[in-house]
Chain A
Amino acid sequence: MNWSRWWEFYLRDSDLALLILGNLVFGAAAAGLALVAVALRISNDRKARHWNRLERLWEPLTLEVVVGVTPPERLWALVGPADRLRFVNYLLRFAKRVSGSERRIVDDLAAPYLHLLLRQLTRRTPERRARAVQTLSTLGSRRYMDAILRSLDDPSPLVAMVAARSLARTGGPEYAAGILSRMHRFDQWRPSFLASMLATMGPAVAPALRRALADSAYPPSVRAVAADALRELHDYVSADAAALVLEAATDRNLIAATLNLMAHVGRSEHLPAVRRHATSKEPIVRARAIAALGHVGAAEDLPFIVGAFHDESAWVVLRAGEALLEARATDKLEALARLDTPRAHLAQQLLAGKPA
């Protein structure tokens, strides 16, 4: 390249020369981006090929180990030092396909490599830590519970949530108190999701949930989650605590969740606590109270439920129809079905056993 000619050109028309230079730089950057895309594709294809080759190598032996015809050492011998975490990832996916004793064999296959994940728990990236927690809880059985428990206090809410879900799924009820005491960390998460997480721990967690529901020291949002979880568990013992909550609570969501619990587990002695909310100004509270009345209500509540069938809120109307059905008040529903209003169709459909 003749640099002196370029220099002459620059001296003659510096603006144009700079622009051309800028274009060359930008063009190189743009071409670089295209090359990055191609390089990424080549590298990913290569990785995928390597990964597939390894899987084809591991898969038949894994199956043999799982059915007990080959010792695990033969499979471990095929795992090179650089592929140990890949092997764990492979087992993580394989574990989803098996259960029972076969599943335990998969956990044992992963055991010699899981300590590598403990190092991942100190990584800067929260997503990596979360992934490590998830893998440890899935393949680590109860051996790594302490590490997972510590992750509940991880600075990242994501890691804490993955730890909580892991403990709820694979841990025992002894971890319930630990999770409940950290529920404030999950206040951004959807309450029904949190309730479902707690309910996966099974009936043994119910005493801790009952205590949380009754304890006004907990934020109303946490108590509402506890009520939802108790409902999912159909915990009949919690009805008394729920009635007390309904007497004193003022938070709309807590009242609605507790009424929902009552609609599943309430008894006739809890009627006064339910009735006081049946005329609430909040449609969601009214609707839940009507549903609860359908479950626990006495004959004297039926006219009130029939009245709710004409409520301005569609939600209350729906719950009233279902409540009459649950209370086996088919005569009342038949009377409503004969009315000359569009809602009569709703009653007809409910009577026909069809979803409305």
Chain B
Amino acid sequence: MIYGIILRLLDGFNALVLVYFVVLNAGYFITGLFAFRSLRRYVRRLRSLDIEDLLGSTGMPPITLIAPAFNEEATCVEATRSLLTLRYGDMEILVCNDGSKDRTLDRLREAFDLEEAFRLQTGDIPTAGIRGVYRSRTHHVLWVIDKENGGKADTLNAGLNFCRTPLFCAMDADSLLEREALTRIVRPFVEDARTIAAGGVIRIINGCTVREGSVVEVRLPRELLPRFQVLEYLRAFLAGRMGWHELESTLIISGAFGVFRRELVVEVGGYATDTVGEDMELVVRLHRHCLEQKIPYTIGFVPDPVAWTECPGTLKVLGRQRDRWQRGLVETLLRHRRMLFNPRYGRIGMLAYPYFVFLEMLSPLIEVLGYLGFLVALVLGRVSSLYATAFLSVAIGLGIGLSFTAVALEELGFRRYPRRSDLYRLIWLAVAENFGYRQLTALWRLRGLVTVFRKAKGWGRMERRGFGVKPG
């Protein structure tokens, strides 16, 4: 009797998982369709405007790049040099050293001839103690803020307190921005004065050739794990964020590359220091603030300014990263849960928020339980050929289709991987990632979901090899 009930429950659960997978992938697919529309229009628009013309304009808003650094001795000098070569009229660079335990500050001091200086604070967001402010004798736009360790959000807030320009760009100190990336990402702020934030694209630098702070040859990484991540990033940025941008419901701007209106971010209190997902949390808080205060605003996503970043090369580090990302997502969604299905927050509350809660936050739980349920049913002989076909087609087939969409979007818009062999590899990866890699990421994300209440914080250790080394 009890066994019968359990079996029926198992069947019911499996059916539910099937429906969930269909809805999840349909959601991805729909955003992918919107992304197609948006990308086509964007590419046309790009051709209609002259980037050189914009670069030559004195009307581009001044901007401060805030680059938080924690134990970045391997990459900080080259990354800062790369920032200094950016083509943008009026910019300042604040490298904020978050109490690094390695030689990050020393290396910066030696490379850029830093001297102690005074810089008036324009903001008063509470942060860990400032140990010193340095200015470069050789590059007048470069400042280094040395502070006690307080985490990435705290470091960004410290930079924000010293920022004097209407816009600031939050980025990772280990990322390389393309020369015209700032001009391109600032465009929404020029074209629409209501713009309060805009995000760019993050691409993976592993496998690429870097010379003098610039990516000179784009290639897929040689190792499988980073290759999978290339595909993931394409899917997340070109199919996901581009689609949400078209729906005017951007909830995530990557912490590695985003531009914000300083005044508004200070007004909402800066980055939250009690979450590991400070980038998403800030964007959601900005939405909430503007909608509650009835401030006309828009948050954009621009698909062609690129920040290149090194991705994890080992399962251990990748697992930690995904765990942290999921925790950040969950913490943010729980914190602002009153937005869920709340018509006061328009399409954010009624569309984007439910999507992220039910289809992003819960997906690892349901995905992992779904695989387990399928295995149990298989062992118990409860899997019909109908169910097996349906499960495999939604769990794997739809995922492949979705990845193909992302590859097609890349071809439609940017073609950053010029070798045809890389394109074929991407197509092959779209199939291969469904056999092991996707399940692994679901497990890591589930771990993040489970541990979210432990409130573990930190940058997450990332072993950097430096841009000079050509990573595999």
| A30–B427 CB distance below 8 A | no
Residue from B118, B122, B398 within 8 A of A314 (CB atoms): B122
CA distance A188 to B188 in the complex (A): 10
B residues 362-398 in Cβ contact with A at 8 Å: 384-386, 389-390, 393, 397-398
**Contact between chains at A19 and B390 (CB < 8 Å):** yes
User: Once the chains bind, are B59 and A193 in contact (CB under 8 Å)?
Assistant: yes
Contact B411 A37 (CB under 8 A): yes
A residues 129-182 in Cβ contact with B at 8 Å: 130-131, 134, 158, 162, 165, 169
B45 — which chain A residues lie within 8 A by C-beta? 127, 130, 158
- B-binding segment of A60-68, A74-82, A208-216, A346-354: A346-354
The A/B interface has a contact count, at CB < 8 Å, of: 138
Which A positions have Cβ atoms within 8 angstroms of B?
A: 13, 15-16, 19-20, 22-23, 26-27, 29-31, 33-34, 36-38, 40-41, 44-45, 96, 125-128, 130-131, 134, 158, 162, 165, 169, 187-197, 199, 232, 314-315, 317-318, 342-343, 345-346, 348-349, 354-356
CB contacts under 8 Å to A, within B38-72, are: 41, 44-45, 47-50, 52-53, 57-61
Residue pair A190, B423 in contact (C-beta under 8 Å): no
The CA of A136 and the CA of B313, in the complex, are separated in Å by 50
Whether the Cβ atoms of B118 and A346 lie closer than 8 Å is: yes
> Cβ of B407: which chain A residues have Cβ within 8 Å of it?
33-34, 37
| Chain A residue at minimal CB-CB distance from B410 | A37
**What are the 10 A-B residue pairs with the smallest beta carbon separation, nearest first?**
A196-B59, A345-B118, A193-B59, A130-B48, A30-B401, A127-B44, A33-B404, A127-B48, A40-B411, A314-B122
Q: Given the known inter-chain contacts A19-B390, A190-B59, please indicate yes or no for A27 contacting B427, CB distance below 8 A.
A: no
Other-chain contact of B49, A16, A162, A199 (Cβ < 8 Å): A162
Question: Interface centre among A33, A134, A314, A317, by most B CB within 10 Å?
Answer: A33
Residues of B close to A195: CB separation below 8 A: 59
Complex CA gap A45/B420 in Å reads 9
Q: Report B17-33 CB contacts with A as 1/0, cut-off 8 Å.
A: 00000000000000000
20 A-B pairs (CB sep. < 8 Å)? A13-B385, A16-B384, A19-B390, A26-B397, A30-B401, A34-B404, A34-B407, A34-B408, A37-B423, A38-B424, A125-B44, A127-B44, A190-B190, A192-B58, A193-B60, A199-B58, A349-B117, A349-B118, A354-B135, A355-B140
Kindly provide the distance from the CB of A219 to the nearest chain B CB, expressed in whole angstroms: 14
Which of A134, A193, A196 has the most chain B CB atoms inside 10 A of its CB? A193
If A26-B398, A127-B45, A127-B47 touch, whether A317 touches B423 (CB-CB below 8 Å) is no
CB proximity of A43 to chain B, nearest CB, Å: 10
Distance between Cα atoms of A2 and B451 in the complex (Å): 55
Chain A residue numbers with a CB within 8 Å of B430 are 34
B218 to chain A, nearest CB (A): 14
Interface size on B, residues (CB 8 A): 52
Residues B119 and A356 in contact, CB atoms below 8 Å apart: yes
Give every chain B residue within 8 A of A165 (Cβ-Cβ).
53
Q: Contacts A20-B389, A33-B404 known; A191 to B122 CB distance under 8 Å?
A: no
- In whole Å, how far is A47's beta carbon from the nearest beta carbon of chain B? 11
A158 to B140, CA, bound (A): 36
Contacts of A131 in B (CB 8 A): 47-48
B157: shortest Cβ distance to chain A, in Å?
16
Complex Cα–Cα for A264 and B415 (A) = 48
Q: Is B120 an interface residue (CB 8 A)?
A: yes
Q: Closest Cβ of chain A: how far from B297's Cβ, in Å?
A: 12
Chain A residue at smallest Cβ distance from B388: A16
B384 neighbours in A (Cβ, 8 Å):
16
| Residues of A with C-beta under 8 A to B117 | 349, 354
Stretch of B191-199, B273-281, B330-338 contacting A (4+ beta carbons < 8 Å)? B191-199
- A4–chain B nearest beta-carbon distance, Å: 21
Residue B189 is within 8 A (CB to CB) of chain A in the complex: yes
Say yes or no: B386 contacts A188, CB within 8 Å: no
Q: Which of B58, B119, B401, B424 contacts A26 (CB 8 A)?
A: B401
Q: Are B193 and A191 in contact, CB atoms less than 8 angstroms apart?
A: yes
- Knowing A192-B61, A197-B57, A314-B121, the reply to whether A26 touches B393 (Cβ < 8 A) is yes
Bound: A345/B130 CA distance, A = 16
A356 contacts which chain B residues (CB < 8 A)? 118-120
Interface residues of B (CB under 8 A from A): 41, 44-45, 47-50, 52-53, 57-61, 117-122, 135, 140, 164, 189-194, 384-386, 389-390, 393, 397-398, 400-401, 404-405, 407-408, 410-412, 415, 420, 423-424, 427, 430
A81 to B378: give the CA distance in the assembly, Å. Answer: 66
A94–B389 Cα distance when bound, in Å, is 58
- Closest beta carbon of chain B to A18's beta carbon, Å: 10
List the B side residues contacting A40 at CB < 8 Å.
Answer: 408, 411-412
Instruction: Give the residue name and chain of the B residue nearest to A32 (CB).
Output: B404
- Given known pairs A37-B404, A125-B44, the reply for A19 and B193 (CB within 8 Å) is no
**In the complex, which residue of chain B has the Cβ closest to the Cβ of A126?**
B48
A130 to B50, CA, bound (A): 11
Residues of A close to B48: CB separation below 8 A: 126-128, 130-131, 134, 158, 162
A119 to B156, CA, bound (A): 51
A19 with B393: in contact, given A37-B408, A193-B190 (CB under 8 Å)? yes
Return the chain B residue nearest A221 by Cβ.
B193
- Among B57, B59, B118, B190, find the residue whose CB has the most chain A CB atoms closer than 10 A: B59
Pairwise interchain contact A315-B122, C-beta atoms closer than 8 A: yes
A19 to chain B: which residues have CB within 8 Å? Answer: 386, 389-390, 393
Does B408 lie within 8 Å of A36, measured CB to CB?
A: yes
A27 to B44, CA, bound (A): 31
- Using CB atoms, name the residue of chain B closest to A13: B386
Closest to A315 in B: B122
With a cutoff of 8 Å between Cβ atoms, the chain B residues found around residue A315 in the complex are: 122
A232–B384 Cα distance when bound, in Å, is 76
| List of B residues within 8 angstroms of A30 by Cβ | 397, 400-401, 404
B408 and chain A: residue at smallest CB distance: A37
- How far apart are the CA atoms of A229 and B286 in the complex, in Å? 32
Please report the C-alpha to C-alpha distance between residue A328 and residue B164 in the assembled complex, in whole angstroms.
24
Known: A44-B415, A127-B47. A188 touches B194 (CB 8 A): yes
A314 with B423, Cβ < 8 A, contacts A188-B192, A191-B193 known: no
Q: Which residue of A lies closest to B422 (CB)?
A: A41
CA distance A317 to B122 in the complex (A): 10
Contact check, A16 vs B386: say whether CB atoms are below 8 A apart: yes
B residues within 8 A CB of A44?
Answer: 411, 415
B260 to chain A minimum Cβ distance, whole angstroms, is 15
Checking A29, A192, A232 against B401 with a beta-carbon cut-off of 8 angstroms, the contacting residue is A29
